[in-house]
A and B are shown apart, each in its own frame.
Chain A
Amino acid sequence: MMKYEFLDHPGDIKIRSFGKDLPELLQNSALGMMSFLYDIDEVKIDHREKIEIEAMDLDTLMIDWLSELLTFSDTNDSAYTEFEFEKCTDSHIVAKVGGGPAPAKDDIKAVTYSELDIKKKSEGYEAVVVYDI
């Protein structure tokens, strides 16, 4: 299964990600974002952060999850590419994420609700997220 792909967008970037279940979808959405920010093949994992998200719906959960990772990424100058979910429902995530330095490629200002679309299909999940760059 493809993890993520970049779609065209008039001004910014749009990433579609896939997952057989919700944790995999969240992970691949995060990897898609990280792959834009950094050369993730070169990452040297040297620390872990704990992330806990409580949200009123799946849309907000996705945005808050990616926003939190973006904040860690910008603050710590790190790419996060390892994910371990202790809890993952439509409204609650508890996870440990592993990250470290990697060659920086680009900047993202924010994760947006614009054109946000999360679908559950028979073969798994699909999500489209637009980022303000």
Chain B
Amino acid sequence: MVSFEKFNKISDYLWEVPRTFRKAMRVPARVYASEKMLTHVLDERAIEQLINIASLPGIEKYALAMPDIHQGYGFPIGGVAALRADEGVISPGGVGYDINCGVRLLASEVTLEDVGSKIEQIVSQMQRDVPSGVGRGGSVVLKEPELDKVLNTGVKWAISQGYATEADAEATEERGSMPGADAARVSERAKKRGADQLGTLGAGNHFVEIQEVVDIYDDRIAETFGIFPGQVTILIHTGSRGLGHQVCTDYVKLMNKVVHQYQIALPDRELSCAPFKSPEGQRYFGAMAAAANFAWTNRQILTDHVRGSWAQVLESGKQNAMRLVYDVAHNMAKKEKHDGKEYIVHRKGATRSFGPDHPVLPDKYKSTGQPVIIPGSMGTHSYLLAGTKESMQSTWGSTCHGAGRRMSRSQAKRSLDYNKLLEELDKYGVVVRAGSAKGLLEEAPAAYKDIDEVIKVVSETKIAAKVARMKPVGIIKG
């Protein structure tokens, strides 16, 4: 455990454990957080995990933690690290079991006032149309050759099947089709596990949320993003399902077998890794990118379901339009160029936050920086932000991904009351359709950290810029 005294205060919201703290550290470890947030996380393993990242071969500048930092596997959740592509490692623990867990924001053409009376109907329709919940398969069950197309080409496949448009691809990181994806690197086990899970939400903290835009902080960027006050927006949060989980499990196992061949001292088996340029590193990257494509295709098919539900309830016309603002990944390793050098940037429970003029951004977002979507937990605000030039310098173009848990699931079930929670959500004006009472309690707002505090740190340190805030009005979860 690392005590508070070991941290140097760089600024009110930035703390550093120096390289000298432990012999194995190659770089310092930095945490973006207020003092209060930092002291609260000290009793978990999160900081220890952050220090372990600092020992990875090829890591440059800092091992970074975003303000929603908490204990994870290998990396803490909220962990960011850039490793030199030529001699650095790639680590499945720096991506997560849920490869390309991420979130997308859809924007309607109408305000909540326009459709308010129909919200309950819309939520009920979506619950019928969106496969969610434990053990629930979807309607898109693919045989291997077709599944391989999804793994290799992601949203390109979805476009060919009518689930997506070119505009959807343009508004997705990597256009939903990551270079280097290789279905052959995904095991039979993983394909079988994911075979009936395409187009499904899952359970846990995954959800579809209907929202109202309640605050605008930057008029110019909001206009470019197509966001206006009172607008109805929809958030979809899910990942690569059993397929991704299996890919990570497979490669943690594989890399643990070969890690001593590369003379890498592992402080934690969950931090298992291999040099990016090694056969194992390349195989993992190919499989990870394939699983990422599966997740983007998953979110795209869910988008298609959601668009269908929306159009079914509302009369046809401009009310039907449901445009994809952007889709961001928050469990990923990406090949990126920074200052002319190539890195493998790991973001585990962290979101890319590229600033204005970045070449990979769609033209319409080059003047503003990319949209950054930060979901609050169920029943709390979500935020829309924009990437910044400052983040490119300080965090490899990265920011937080959400609020992070502060109460364990069992604590939440013990200390919170289901009926009271329903009452609270009702008072807050939220229609809920949840698959299980237990699932709902575990995801209660009280079980999560304060999203407003997390966003304050992000905003004050300029690693993303606030654009809008949304309030939930309807939730569908498994």
Contact = CB atoms under 8 A, between A and B. Distances in A.
B245 interface: yes
Given A105-B134, A109-B245, A110-B245, A10 B203 contact: no
B348 to A, nearest CB: 12
A111 B192 contact: no
B97 A109 contact: yes
A8 B248 CA distance: 25
A32 to B, nearest CB: 15
Contacts of B304: none
Contacts of A59: 269
Contacts of B192: 75
Given A8-B410, A74-B193, A110 B249 contact: yes
B203 A9 contact: no
Contacts of B134: 104-107
A13 B439 CA distance: 14
Nearest to A110: B97
Interface string B418-462: 000000000000000000001100000000000000000000000
A90 to B, nearest CB: 17
Interface in B29-50: 44
Interface in A20-68: 56, 59-60, 63-64, 67
A84 interface: no
B249 A67 contact: yes
- Binding site of A, secondary structure by majority: helix, strand, loop or mixed? mixed
Contacts of B341: none
A62 B311 CA distance: 50
A105 B203 CA distance: 10
Interface string B221-265: 000000000000000000000100110110011001100000000
A110 to B, nearest CB: 4
A117 B248 CA distance: 21
A71 B193 contact: yes
B88 interface: no
Contacts, number: 79
A56 B257 contact: yes
Interface string B372-411: 0000000000000000000000000000000001001111
Choose among B245, B253, B405 the residue with the greatest number of A CB atoms under 10 Å from its CB. Answer: B245
Interface string A87-126: 0000000000000000011110111111010000000000
A99 to B, nearest CB: 14
A105 B436 CA distance: 9
Contacts of A109: 97-98, 245
A132 interface: yes
Given A10-B44, A10-B70, A67-B249, A112 B409 contact: no
B219 interface: no
B268 interface: yes
Contacts of B44: 10
Contacts of B97: 109-110, 132
Interface in B117-140: 134-135, 137
A101 B291 CA distance: 27
B22 interface: no
A132 to B, nearest CB: 5
B193 A113 contact: no
B203 A106 contact: yes
B242 to A, nearest CB: 5
Contacts of A110: 73, 97, 245, 248-249
Contacts of B411: 8
Nearest to B269: A113
Contacts of A107: 134-135, 202-204
B135 A112 contact: no
A77 B197 CA distance: 12
Contacts of B246: 71
Contacts of B338: none
B211 interface: no
A45 B270 CA distance: 34
Contacts of A104: 134-135
Contacts of B405: 10-11
A116 B248 CA distance: 18
Choose among A63, A77, A114 the residue with the greatest number of B CB atoms under 10 Å from its CB. Answer: A114
A112 B96 CA distance: 11
B73 A132 contact: yes
B71 interface: yes
Choose among A13, A56, A60, A113 the residue with the greatest number of B CB atoms under 10 Å from its CB. Answer: A113
A114 B270 contact: yes
Interface string A67-79: 1000100110100
Nearest to B72: A11
A132 B438 CA distance: 17
A60 B268 CA distance: 13
B169 to A, nearest CB: 28
B189 A71 contact: yes
Question: 7 closest A-B pairs (Cβ-Cβ)?
Answer: A104-B135, A113-B269, A109-B245, A110-B97, A109-B97, A104-B134, A74-B242
Given A74-B242, A77-B137, A110-B248, 4 more contacts: A10-B71, A71-B193, A75-B189, A75-B193
16 contacts: A11-B72, A11-B408, A12-B409, A56-B257, A59-B269, A71-B189, A74-B193, A74-B245, A75-B189, A75-B195, A77-B137, A107-B204, A109-B98, A112-B270, A113-B268, A132-B73
